Amino acid sequence: MPIDDLWYLATRAEQAAERAYHALTAAHDDFLEFDRQRSVSRRRFRTLAERVERTGSPYGAHTLVYRDNGDILLVRHDHVDLWVLPGGGIDDDESFREAAERELAEEAGVDATYDGLAMVTSVSFQCSGYSSWGVLPVFEAVAEDTELVVDDPDDEITDAAWFADLPEDTRDRAHLQRWRERALS
């Protein structure tokens, strides 16, 4: 009978998440924090835990980009059929912010001035008695230009648009509205 290594993987992932969380929160002030919990399949658990072990994050890094008038940039992620913030996975030797900047360029083609951290979400995931977690950093940036060009090498993003009013099918809509009320008031 093979030994189940998910417990060890989950523990290593939690250690990486702790290091990433503390590095992010020590380097930034005045950001919102949220928690998210997900039940996943055993296969997905392994995938997420391996990502967290490698980077500290199960879903990479994202950017909340806004224009001077308060419009927020969202991209259409066809695999989840939602409007989402631009962002994604972290390449080897890439910081959270470098990943967020690269993903913004690929998914919307916008130049932006980064201004710290907008949000940090602690993402807990569990399956069959195993649990672990990782961080999801969302950086804050002001758009320098507003022309949008989608050039996503993963073919997940099919559209990008500026929104004064967030669509109903926006992932984490309530969190984004809370950020907007707090940051832009």
| Mean pLDDT, rounded, for 101-109 | 94
Residue 145 scores a pLDDT above 90: no
Residue type present at position 21: Y
Tokens representing 16? 């990486």
At residue 171, the pLDDT reads 94
Predicted pLDDT at 142: 96
Whether the pLDDT of residue 1 is over 50: the answer is: no
Name the band, by pLDDT with cuts 50, 70 and 90, for residue 155. confident
For 3, counting Cβ atoms within 10 Å of its Cβ (0-12 exposed, 13-18 middle, 19+ buried), the class is exposed
pLDDT at 184 over 80: no
Q: Look over the chain and give the mean of its residue pLDDT values, rounded to a whole number.
A: 93
What is the C-alpha to C-alpha distance for residues 15 and 45, in angstroms, rounded to an integer? 16
- For the chain, the domains span 6-183
Provide the pLDDT for residue 146.
80
Query: What pLDDT, on a 0 to 100 scale, did the predictor assign at position 148?
Result: 87
* The pLDDT of residue 4: 75
What pLDDT, on the 0 to 100 scale, is given for residue 183?
A: 82
Please report, rounded to a whole number, the percentage of residues in the chain having pLDDT higher than 90.
80
Ranges 53-57, 104-108, 148-152, 171-175: which has the least confidence:
148-152
Residue 27 near residue 51, CB atoms below 8 Å: no
For the cut 80, the answer to whether the pLDDT of residue 167 exceeds it is yes
The number of beta carbons lying within 10 Å of the beta carbon of residue 180 is 18
- Mean pLDDT, to the nearest integer, of 41-69? 96
User: What would the CATH number be for the domain defined by 6-183?
Assistant: 3.90.79.10
pLDDT tier at 150, thresholds 50, 70, 90: confident
What's the mean pLDDT in 93-97?
Answer: 95
Q: Give pTM, 2 decimals.
A: 0.93
Position 3 scores a pLDDT of 55
Q: What six digits make up the tokens of 115?
A: 């201004």
42: three-class secondary structure by DSSP:
helix
